[in-house]
Structures are given as C-alpha cells and as structure tokens.
Amino acid sequence: MKLPAVEGWFTMDDADPRLLGNRCRTCGTYFFPRTSMFCRNPHCEGTEFDEVPLSRRGRVWSVTTNRYQPPAPYVSPEPFEPYKIAAVELPEEKMVVLGQVKGAADVDIGTEVELVLDTLYREDENEYVVWKWSPV
C-alpha cells in the first residue's frame, strides 16, 4: 500500500501533488507545516486558518548532496546512496521549502523545479511516500 510518510502534509495526487499549508484568515500569512491555534505573525491576533495547497513550482535557492549516511530516524537504502537536498523558493508564498531532489537530478541555484511524489522508504508491505523536487 502507498502511504504518506507524514500524515496531512501533502496531497497523494500523483498528477498534481501539492504541499498542504494553511493561511491566516485575518492577515493572509501562509504557514507550512500548518500552524494552529494562533497566527505566528506577531502583529496579528488571528486564530482561524484555511488549509491551502502551496504553489507546485519554485526556484532552487540552494542545493547540496549528502554523501554520508545520516542517522535514524532516516531510513536509508542499503547500500547507502547519496542524495540531493534542495531549498526551493515558492514565489507566491515567499517561503523556502526543503526537499530531496528526485533521482538526484541535475539542478542548480535558480533552476525551476516542481513538486513530485516519490518513495522515501519501504517497510513491510507498504511504500512510504514523500514530496521531492524535480526539474521542470
């Protein structure tokens, strides 16, 4: 079975996957991961939020390749394979979101990328899925 590696952070729509943030009804500020209870804009008293899918596309702010196996709770394939992590700027939300780069594709600072779903790890019968970035 395909399951999200974390519940409620993104849609499981393979055709148009989106990160799920939320937005303050009072000041309009976006949050990802979602916030609750109180708006984190210190000038806003908002307490109500609407769930919003975030922009699917953005530009790479920076990118690096991890060449050493990280500790748990990361579930690493054996043998370990290096992977890329990109920090991506979403134009509409004006925020930077980290994600692995699918297939360690060639991306540079400024490259336009879009959100995709990919396997993070398999456990028992299940495939756990996470968001990744992929060049457009």
Interface positions with other proteins (CB under 8 A): 5-7, 27-33, 40-43, 61-68, 70-76, 83, 85, 87, 92-100, 108-109, 120, 130
Element (H, E) at 52: strand 49-53
Shortest distance (Å) from residue 85 CB to other proteins: 5
Q: Which is nearer to other proteins, 73 or 79 (CB)?
A: 73
As measured in angstroms, the least distance from the Cβ of 42 to other proteins is 5
Measured from the CB atom, is 15 or 72 closer to other proteins?
A: 72
Sequence length of the chain is 136
Compare residues 1 and 94 and give the one whose CB is closer to other proteins.
Answer: 94
Q: Judge whether 127 and 119 are in contact, CB under 8 Å.
A: yes
The least distance separating other proteins from the CB of residue 80, rounded to whole angstroms, comes to 10
Q: Smaller CB distance to other proteins: residue 13 or 62?
A: 62
Residue (of 132, 130, 133) closest to 6 by Cα position:
130
What is the number of other CB atoms lying within 10 angstroms of the CB of residue 66?
A: 14
At residue 59, φ and ψ (nearest 5 deg) are -120, 145
